[in-house]
Amino acid sequence: MLTSICGINWGDEGKGRMVDLLSSDFDVVCRYQGGNNAGHTVINEKGKFILNLLPSGILRDDVVNVLGCGMVIDIKHLCEEIARLREGGIKITPENLKISDKAVITMPYNVLQDIMEEDRLTKATGKPYGSTRRGIAPVYADKYLKKVFRMGELLNPELMYKRIPDIVAWKNMTIKAYGFEPVKDEEIVNYFETYGKQLKDYIIDTGLYLNEANKQGKKIMFEAQLGALRDIDFGIVPYTSSSSTIAAYAPIGAGVPNLKIDNSIGIMKAYSSCVGAGPFTCEYFGEKAVKLREAGGEYGAATGRPRRVGPFDVVASRYGIRCQGADEIALTKLDVLDIYEELEICTAYELNGKIIKEFPFTDVLDECKPVFEKVKGWNCDISKCRKPEDLPKEALDYIHLLEKLCECKIKYVSVGAEREAYVVMY
């Protein structure tokens, strides 16, 4: 059985936390896109962990974790992340971690390119893309230019190293144009020798592995990084990631394009948050923003950047649910709204005096104004609630209203960051 867990909003919905919870029923957890720009915070009985490249299933002893072919892997970062988790008592071996031979390697010069371009944009336009500066956009661009190294090549270094001089010469044309020091071939050899070697035993044909696992009746979960609105096609371009974050891409990015997803669970936040630049129609400013940001602890897990916040956005969330083909929703961080006597929901956008309810094309988003409606809050601590009956009436009303407005069932409600802090609604 194949299940996908994906983000409905702008990311940071609590996907890592929900994968950590739901993975108890799964044999395999697989990341299928993105790189170490992800930041999933997971808190469980083993401690607090921040995961950038590793699937959140790595925190369970009996789950096999896969880094799929749709990913871009910074091998230095991966080695450091593995070491950091091992220090925290997590077991990581080729038995429970498998890396696709077809996954692309993020290079140090991709990280440099990302920084050079964000800085150029800042100077030239004052409007950088809000990149995490970890080389993700440049390495995906190189992938489509077919000028990358893939993980499987690390198993055959002689052949791999022969390709270095030409790729480096080509990349240096760009680096020099930005006025930076060119990269040397030896630095690249050194990168592969230092970090690639440590990862050799983990590299396999993960598509074959996943097909076998599926045949044996194993339960496989696909874990997305980032939300629907950061998808390279469907998101708020160019303020998106550079990969497909949507569930329909999961079988491809995992390496099993022949298999179909049985269930898509969308992770949706009870309010809105958005890290970095780009249109964010429902945004709160001033004191209103500070209050919600502090209550939700909205600071980036990967970068520490303060996240922009706002109330729940029906227009964007309905679009996100459609993009993800979500069968059911896990609503997260409902407890953050405990502080309000009265809650706002963004139910529509206003564009040039017209009310719109469908998410518009990106270029007009900047001119859209939010339409807020008020509902009663519960204004009490719900973090100890474990059953629907435990929740106050106003909280249940809020959940049911979101279900109605978004046209999707809410199955799970999370009321705290800890593994057990959740309610199953039906």
Active site residue 12: yes
Per-residue contact string for residues 9-28; x = within reach of Mg ion by CB under 5 A = ---x----------------
Nearest-angstrom CA–CA distance, 407 and 402: 8
Q: Does 15 bind ligand GDP (CB under 6 A)?
A: yes
| 107-134 burial: b if 16+ Cβ within 10 Å, else e | bbbbbbbbbbbbeebeeeeeebbbbbbb
| 14-43 burial: b if 16+ Cβ within 10 Å, else e | bbbbbbbbbbeebbbbbbbbbbbbbbbbbb
Positions 27 through 46 that interact with Mg ion (CB under 5 A): 39
Q: Which of 20, 117, 327, 335 binds ligand GDP (CB under 6 A)?
A: 335
**Which is the catalytic residue, given 27, 40, 142, 313?**
40
Alpha-helix runs per DSSP H in 88-183 = 108-125, 136-144, 157-162, 164-177
Positions 20 through 49 that interact with ligand GDP (CB under 6 A): 39-41, 43
Q: Residue 390 to residues 267, 407, 415, 422: CA-CA distances in angstroms?
A: 22, 24, 12, 11
The stretch near ligand GDP (CB under 6 A) out of 71-79, 180-188, 231-239, 327-335 is: 327-335
Active site residue 366: no
Phi-psi bin for 289: left (phi > 0), alpha (psi -120 to 50), beta? alpha
- Write the DSSP symbol of residue 360: P
Q: Residues 272, 312: contact at Cβ < 8 Å?
A: yes
Pairing of strands 263-269, 308-310: unpaired
**What's the min distance (Å) between Cβ of 54 and Mg ion?**
14
Positions 383 through 422 that interact with ligand GDP (CB under 6 A): 414-417
The stretch near Mg ion (CB under 5 A) out of 56-64, 245-253, 297-305, 382-390 is: 297-305
Q: Does 81 bind ligand GDP (CB under 6 A)?
A: no
Per-residue contact string for residues 140-179; x = within reach of ligand GDP by CB under 6 A = ----------------------------------------
Binding site for Mg ion (CB under 5 A): 12, 39, 301
Residues serving a catalytic function are: 12, 40
Binding site for ligand GDP (CB under 6 A): 7, 11-17, 39-41, 43, 297, 301, 332-333, 335-336, 414-417
